[in-house]
């Protein structure tokens, strides 16, 4: 248990560019691999000029993973450019989401160190059919059992979904290397990550932390002027507001991000923050709390699932297993 706690603290310190002298690097690397943060760890230490403090074998391993991820991201960047270009020629300007945004905004040949699993695009609902047809002409086919389209030669899947208004800031039209795409402002991207993890994936109830997305938020706060107070005001539902403030407390706890002082005013928010951090550091002792959270979230989630009553038992069982066994990169 102490090994997991120490590894987490050492990983956070490395992501902040300050490696600890007595880190158990085997445990740190295992946790970094689990949370998909190994390339970011090396990049942070490299930018801080701290890689010479690492043991040689650790430095070489981190560099190897970083370089492999860079080659993959270059392929994803080229794949994204091809898809956006084809859509533009059809008069479609896609909205880029999550990891597709930094890949698009980076100059050709330069990519972020972030590990990206796939490419997420959104289009107007009326354009979804033409967009899929356009991608099929490029050789993409629907992947059975997954929400995405793929080709054998590509590094990742491409997911196209209908766009929806999030009630916050509208996207900005950006031209990059002759390509046009809509890019959500930093605050909208932050809100999307938080809603996805805490509400859709149930991390708030289940006591989980997506450390990679938390690191994304910390980097977003450093590079862009994110108005957390305005984001708070945009969340009207009290349950979602509690989840939002809990995430901000966790963001400050691990990465020192400046957040509104009122985030810590409600006892429920402070308790939820403590529960998430405790179970992340002590997964065995914290297992009963996480189990209780999983059950509470599962009951709430599936009692409100649209059309659940019309689905067969096997489909319900499969959906439950996918939800409870998912999130393997979270802590």
pLDDT (0 to 100) of residue 309: 47
Residues 327 and 35: beta-carbon distance below 8 Å = no
- Give domain 70-184's CATH architecture: 2-Layer Sandwich (3.30)
Cβ neighbours for 34, distance < 8 A, ≥ 6 positions apart: 328, 329, 331
- Where are the alpha helices (H) located in 107-234, listed in sequence order? 128-137, 186-194, 203-206, 211-223, 228-234
According to the model, what pLDDT value does residue 316 have?
47
C-beta separation of 108 from 77 below 8 A: yes
What does the angle CA 199 – CA 200 – CA 202 come to, to the nearest 5 degrees?
Answer: 60
The Cα–Cα gap between 275 and 296 comes to 15
Question: What does the alpha-carbon distance between residue 72 and residue 10 come to, in Å, rounded to a whole number?
Answer: 27
Among residues 321, 314, 280, which one has the least CA distance to residue 298? 321
> Measured between alpha carbons, how far is residue 57 from residues 25, 53, 118, 167 in Å?
10, 12, 30, 49
**Percent of the chain as helix, strand, coil, to the nearest 5:** 60, 10, 30
Radius of gyration of the chain, Cα coordinates, nearest whole angstrom: 20
Helices (H), 35-55: 38-47
How many CA atoms lie within 13 Å of 42's alpha carbon, on the beta-carbon side?
25
Segments making up each domain of the chain, as ranges: 1-54, 70-184, 186-331
What DSSP designation does 274 have? Answer: H
Distance, CA of 229 to CA of 245 (rounded, Å):
10
Q: Are strands 172-176 and 158-162 parallel, antiparallel or unpaired?
A: unpaired
Residue 278: name the closest of 288, 265, 264 by CA: 288
Average pLDDT per block of 10 residues along the chain, 331 residues long: 79 95 93 97 97 96 98 96 97 95 89 93 95 96 87 94 78 94 92 90 92 95 86 86 95 95 92 93 86 83 58 51 60 89
Q: What pLDDT is attached to residue 184? A: 92
Give, as one character, the DSSP assignment of residue 53.
G
């Amino acid at each position: 248990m102490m090994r997991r706690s120490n590894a987490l603290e050492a990983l956070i310190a490395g992501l902040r560019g300050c490696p600890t002298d007595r880190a158990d690097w085997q445990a740190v690397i295992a946790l970094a691999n689990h949370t998909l943060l190994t390339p970011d760890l090396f990049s942070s230490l490299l930018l801080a000029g701290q890689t010479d403090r690492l043991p040689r074998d650790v430095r070489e391993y981190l560099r190897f993973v970083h370089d492999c991820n860079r080659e993959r991201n270059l392929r994803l960047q080229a794949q994204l450019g091809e898809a956006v270009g084809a859509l533009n020629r059809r008069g479609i300007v896609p909205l880029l989401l999550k990891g597709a945004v930094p890949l698009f905004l980076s100059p050709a040949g330069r990519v972020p160190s972030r590990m990206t699993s796939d490419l997420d695009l959104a289009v107007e609902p009326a354009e979804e059919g033409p967009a899929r047809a356009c991608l099929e002409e490029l050789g993409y086919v629907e992947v059975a059992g997954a929400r995405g389209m793929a080709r054998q030669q590509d590094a990742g899947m491409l997911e196209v979904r209908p766009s929806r208004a999030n009630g916050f800031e509208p996207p900005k039209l950006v031209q990059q290397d002759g390509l046009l795409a809509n890019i959500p402002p930093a605050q909208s991207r932050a809100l999307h990550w938080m809603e996805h993890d805490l509400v859709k994936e149930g991390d708030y109830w289940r006591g989980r932390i997506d450390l990679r997305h938390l690191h994304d938020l910390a980097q977003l706060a450093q590079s862009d002027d994110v108005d957390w107070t305005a984001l708070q005001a945009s969340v009207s539902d009290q349950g979602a507001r509690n989840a939002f403030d809990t995430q901000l407390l966790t963001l400050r706890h691990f990465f020192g991000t400046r957040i509104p002082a009122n985030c810590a005013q409600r006892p429920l928010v402070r308790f939820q923050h403590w529960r998430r951090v405790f179970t992340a550091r002590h997964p065995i002792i914290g297992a009963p709390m996480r189990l209780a959270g999983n059950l509470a979230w599962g009951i709430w989630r599936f009692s409100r699932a649209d059309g659940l009553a019309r689905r067969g038992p096997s489909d319900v069982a499969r959906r439950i297993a996918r939800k409870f066994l998912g999130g393997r990169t979270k802590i």
